[in-house]
Amino acid sequence: MLVANEMRLRIGARGGVFSAVKLGTDRYPALTGVRALGAMVVFFDHFPLRANSHITLNVMAFFFGLSGFLIVRIYYEQAALDRGWLAQYFLNRFARIYPVYFLLLTIAVLIHHGFRPWVLLTNYTLTHALFSNVQFIIQPSWSLTVEECFYFLAPLFMVLARVRSFLAAFLFAGLLLLAALLVSRLRLGFLGTTPFVLSTTFFGHFLEFFAGVYLALAVIRVERKGSIDLPGTKWTAAGVAGVGLLAIAMMLVYRRASLDLSAVILINNFLIPLPIGLLYWGLIREQTLLSRLLSTKTLRLLGRGSYSFYLLHTLIIDCVSVPLLASTGGYRPLYVVLTFLITWVISILLFFVYEEPINVILRERFRSKVFRIAET
């Protein structure tokens, strides 16, 4: 959910930060817009205009599928299990993900304080969502553990897919799910319970990532042949229709007197990845009204700041907006809209003055060290 602009990030120290963030450099601009739209949906789920009116659509599946696509599309053809390539790959992932998380996590710790050492250790190491009994200091950060598990395993998946087949990588991921489910039966806290594995870990969400992986391999094959543009709108329409039908099904599930967790997991983890893959295929290849909307400069700019927005929004909601709303008895929609706008402004500023500069500095500073490691 977080690597869209890496495809063009090949700058030196003299190039400056802003040369890496020009809005015209996205290879798949509509997908950058998807990130912005997804972050907005998450915001209004956590802070709805009307109290207790939450969105039931599994937005994280869109992010996970996007991560699977972008990681494989960027790294697939060069992926290797040697020390030099892996060092550079993990440096890129660390530089993109961790600095913003570290900053906002530290702010949250200073605001709330009093966390136990184990909670701090697991949150700072991004292992917290592997344990069912650990508190998430930044609530949405559980998904970063899911992402990091995929990043860790992605080189192996890519090499397996290239040397063997996509099916080999897919079956290996399926075996990892079975292993995680077996561990969860031991009741050790690590990987928690079966519902925890299926709802909160990479192993339960692997199909969402692999929808993106399969899509990336298909796009690579098409791009090798030349232009990828397709006439018409059938793939985009099929994706939208499929997502819409499953969203309706999820609403019906949540309206029942007792929540059917198995139905939720079936829809979220195993059914929705297919229409999301169809939708992304359409957004990449078809020139539709939706793809043009998602490719606008505004949404692409917001897409760049969506990672900071995703981590920041609950801090502002929980520490500022909700207490103010409760103490003043104000008009809730006004507080929601103001919080939404202010959070976006801060997130965009954070992207330009911290997230992207730190990303570039870390890559440039440690790239030579990585090369030295590869030579030893």
Per-residue confidence at 18, pLDDT binned at 50, 70, 90? very low
| Token pair of 34 as six digits | 């998807």
What is the C-alpha to C-alpha distance for residues 99 and 63, in angstroms, rounded to an integer? 20
**Residue type at 181?**
L
135 CB burial (10 A radius; 0-12, 13-18, 19+): middle
Q: Which helix (H) or strand (E) is 363 found in, with range? A: helix 356-375
- If you write DSSP's letter for every residue of 270-289 in order, what string do you get? IITHHHHHHHHHHHHHB--H
Q: Which helix (H) or strand (E) is 300 found in, with range? A: helix 297-304
Read off the pLDDT of residues 267-300 as tens digits, 9 standing for 90 and up: 999 999 999 999 999 999 999 999 999 999 999 9
Question: CB count, 10 Å around CB of 128?
Answer: 22
What is the C-alpha to C-alpha distance for residues 246 and 8, in angstroms, rounded to an integer? 35
Q: What is the model's pLDDT at position 226?
A: 85
- If you write DSSP's letter for every residue of 171-233 in order, what string do you get? HHHHHHHHHHHHHHTT--SBT-SHHHHHHHSHHHHHHHHHHHHHHHHHHHHHHHHS---BSSS
Read off the pLDDT of residues 84-109 as tens digits, 9 standing for 90 and up: 999 999 999 999 999 999 999 999 99
**Residue type at 73?**
R
Residue linked to tokens 């990479």:
202
What is the C-alpha to C-alpha distance for residues 24 and 62, in angstroms, rounded to an integer? 23
Q: Give the closest residue to 230 by CA, choosing from 245, 219, 214.
A: 219
pTM over 0.75: yes
What is the C-alpha to C-alpha distance for residues 312 and 43, in angstroms, rounded to an integer? 10
Query: Which residues lie below 8 Å from residue 107, measured CB to CB, with a gap of 6+?
Result: 315
Read off the pLDDT of residues 306-364 as tens digits, 9 standing for 90 and up: 999 999 999 999 999 999 999 988 899 999 999 999 999 999 999 999 999 999 999 88
Q: With DSSP H G I counted as helix, E B as strand and the rest as coil, what are the percentages for the chain, rounded to 5?
A: 80, 0, 20
Question: CB count, 10 Å around CB of 309?
Answer: 26
Do the beta carbons of residue 246 and residue 275 sit within 8 Å? yes
DSSP state of 131: B
Per-residue pLDDT averaged across 3-26, rounded?
45
* Number of helices followed by number of strands (H, E) in the chain: 17, 0
What is the C-alpha to C-alpha distance for residues 245 and 100, in angstroms, rounded to an integer? 36
Read off the pLDDT of residues 130-180 as tens digits, 9 standing for 90 and up: 998 899 999 999 999 999 999 999 999 999 999 999 999 999 999 999 999
Greatest CA separation for the chain: 64
Per-residue confidence at 25, pLDDT binned at 50, 70, 90? low
| Token pair of 118 as six digits | 């184990």
Q: What is the model's pLDDT at position 140?
A: 94
What is the C-alpha to C-alpha distance for residues 141 and 313, in angstroms, rounded to an integer? 11
- If you write DSSP's letter for every residue of 142-182 in order, what string do you get? HHHHHHHHHHHHHHHHHHHHHHT-HHHHHHHHHHHHHHHHH
What is the C-alpha to C-alpha distance for residues 294 and 297, in angstroms, rounded to an integer? 9
* pLDDT of 376 higher than 60: no
2 CB burial (10 A radius; 0-12, 13-18, 19+): buried
* pLDDT of 236 higher than 80: yes
Question: CB count, 10 Å around CB of 188?
Answer: 11
Residue linked to tokens 């809005």:
23
Average pLDDT, the chain: 89
Do the beta carbons of residue 129 and residue 201 sit within 8 Å? yes
Read off the pLDDT of residues 196-235 as tens digits, 9 standing for 90 and up: 999 999 999 999 999 999 999 999 999 998 889 899 999 9
